[in-house]
Structure 1
Amino acid sequence: MNLSNLNIETIIVTAVALLITIVLHELAHGYMALALGDDTAQRMGRLTLNPLAHLNLPGVLSLLIFKFGWANPVPINFNRLKPRRLGIILVSIAGVSMNLVLAFFASFGYVYTLYHKSNVLFSEFFALLLIYNISFAVFNLLPLPPLDGSKLVVSFFPTQFQVKFYMYEKYFYFLLLFLVFTRTINTIIGPVVQTIFRIFVNIAAGFIIK
Structure 2
Amino acid sequence: MVFAVLIPILIASVALHELAHAWQARREGDPTAERLGRITLNPLAHLDPVGSFIVPAVLYFSGGLIFGWAKPVPVDPRNFRTHPWSDIRVSLAGIVSNLGLAFGLALIAGPLSAYAQGQVGEVVLTAVTYGIFLNLILAFFNLLPIPPLDGSHVVAHMLPPALASRYRAFGRYGILVLMGLVFFLPGALDVALAPVDWAMGWVDRWVRLWH
2-side partners of 1:80 and 1:95: how far apart? 19
Question: 1:19 aligned to 2:11?
Answer: yes
Tell me the residue number matched to 1:3: none
Tell me the residue number matched to 1:199: 202
**What code does the residue aligned with 2:15 have?**
V
Cα contact 2:156–2:168 (8 A) shared by 1: no
**What code does the residue aligned with 1:116 have?**
Y
Tell me the residue number matched to 1:111: 110
- How many residues align structurally? 200
1-side partners of 2:115 and 2:203: how far apart? 18
**What code does the residue aligned with 1:53 have?**
A
Given the superposition, is the C-alpha separation of residues 154 and 205 from structure 1 closer, same or farther in structure 2, using an over 3 Å criterion? farther
Given the superposition, is the C-alpha separation of residues 204 and 160 from structure 1 closer, same or farther in structure 2, using an over 3 Å criterion? farther
**Unpaired runs of at least 5, structure 1:** 1-6
1-side partners of 2:114 and 2:130: how far apart? 17
**What code does the residue aligned with 1:131 have?**
F
Given the superposition, is the C-alpha separation of residues 143 and 96 from structure 1 closer, same or farther in structure 2, using an over 3 Å criterion? same
**What code does the residue aligned with 1:198 have?**
G
Tell me the residue number matched to 1:35: 27
2-side partners of 1:199 and 1:113: how far apart? 16
**Unpaired runs of at least 5, structure 2:** none
**What code does the residue aligned with 1:147 have?**
L
Poorly superposed stretches of 4+, deviation over 6 Å: none
Cα contact 2:33–2:73 (8 A) shared by 1: yes
**What code does the residue aligned with 2:6 have?**
T
Cα contact 2:55–2:68 (8 A) shared by 1: yes
CA RMSD of aligned residues (A): 2.3
Tell me the residue number matched to 1:148: 150
Question: 1:54 aligned to 2:46?
Answer: yes
2-side partners of 1:39 and 1:204: how far apart? 42
SS of 1:84's equivalent in the other structure is: coil
Given the superposition, is the C-alpha separation of residues 189 and 166 from structure 1 closer, same or farther in structure 2, using an over 3 Å criterion? closer
**What code does the residue aligned with 1:15 have?**
I
Per-residue deviation, 1:101: 0.6
1-side partners of 2:202 and 2:20: how far apart? 24
Task: Please give the per-residue CA displacement for 1:153-190, whole angstroms capped at 9, x wherever unaligned.
Answer: 11223445444443442122211121123334542334
Task: Please give the per-residue CA displacement for 1:37-96, whole angstroms capped at 9, x wherever unaligned.
Answer: 111111222222221222234433444522233222211112221101111111111100
What is the TM-score with the length of structure 2 in the denominator? 0.83
Query: For 1:130-149, what aligned pairs fall within 5 Å after superposition?
Result: 130-149=132-151
